[in-house]
Amino acid sequence: MNAPHELQFEHSLQRATVLGADMAYRDLGKADGPVVLFLHGNPTSSYIWRNIIPHVAPQARCIAPDLIGYGQSGKPDIDYRFADHVRYLDALLDTLGIRDCFIVAQDWGTALAFHHAARFPERMRGLAFMEFIRPFARWADFHQRDSAREAFRKFRTPGEGEAMIMEHNVFIERIVPAAIMRTLSDAEMNAYRAPFPTPASRKPIWRLPNELPIEGQPADVHALLTEAHAALAASTYPKLLFAGTPGALVSPEYAAQFAAGLQHCELVQLGAGAHYLQEDHADAIGQRLAHWLAQA
């Protein structure tokens, strides 16, 4: 039997027509409270926030979109490059009338958050983030595990990457479980599988590893995120960084160094965790977010 907060989350799905496509998003919580925008990464959806949002909802309006091509959003015939995600998210926020907000983000959601904050600093009330995307000067900087670096090199190899991700569904079936400390239930795994039933439907999953700015490529994404990180370093809005041990993109040591280089940034070390920290530490993240928002 589902808990009340699970039923509330399940029934919170809304839809909007954005740039001619259907975008799904969760909208729940305190309607007249501050807006908190939750941005997921690859290959997840708003579902990854299901056990975190209930901690925040009593004091805020929680908006959690499914990025275009993900979750229950549509899959228009586009390239699914980072710039495409920027366009669709911008249009969704305009459609919903979302301006001033807090952002909570992980993985590619952080790239979207950093880029948004760089362009609209006056709209930022605060930023909480984890396992974040940044320009990686070398492949050695990209991930904590050699095996993951090797997999992502293959994902970026023409022909091989498409076969692995689109034909054999490696990202869903192997990368996701390997980046979570606990074992997901069948129902949880099926929730992540459901949006991607066919090879063609997995194009968005394949594209984003190829968008990671590693050794300066792709040049346009590298430039955008270099600029966004410079703006982040100069920003003065409140920040909250969550880190796991050993982490995946972000080690606890790197998290401490990074947080120390930002203004008004608190660091929360969660303990054992890899990439999808929301699946291992939902209550800890949710409770800390609620406390942070109450103080902001």
Catalytic residues: 107, 131, 275
On whether the CB atoms of residues 113 and 237 are closer than 8 A, the answer is: no
Please give the C-alpha separations between residue 13 and each of 27, 30, 72, 130, in angstroms, as whole numbers.
7, 16, 9, 24
CB atoms within 10 A of CB 276: 27
Residue 229's H or E segment, with its range, is: helix 219-234
SS3 state at 252: helix
C-beta of residue 255 within 8 angstroms of C-beta of residue 241: yes
Q: What is the DSSP string of 10-64?
A: HTTEEEEEETTEEEEEEEEE-TTS-EEEEE--SS--GGGGTTTHHHHTTTSEEEE
Q: For 169, how many CA atoms within 13 A lie in the half-sphere containing its CB?
A: 14
Percent composition of the chain: helix, strand, coil (DSSP 3-state, to 5): 45, 20, 35
Q: State how far the Cα of 292 lies from the Cα of 280, in Å rounded to an integer.
A: 20
Q: Which residues contact 240 (CB under 8 A, 6 or more apart)?
A: 126, 127, 128, 129, 265, 266, 268, 288, 289, 292
Terminus-to-terminus CA distance in the chain, angstroms?
36
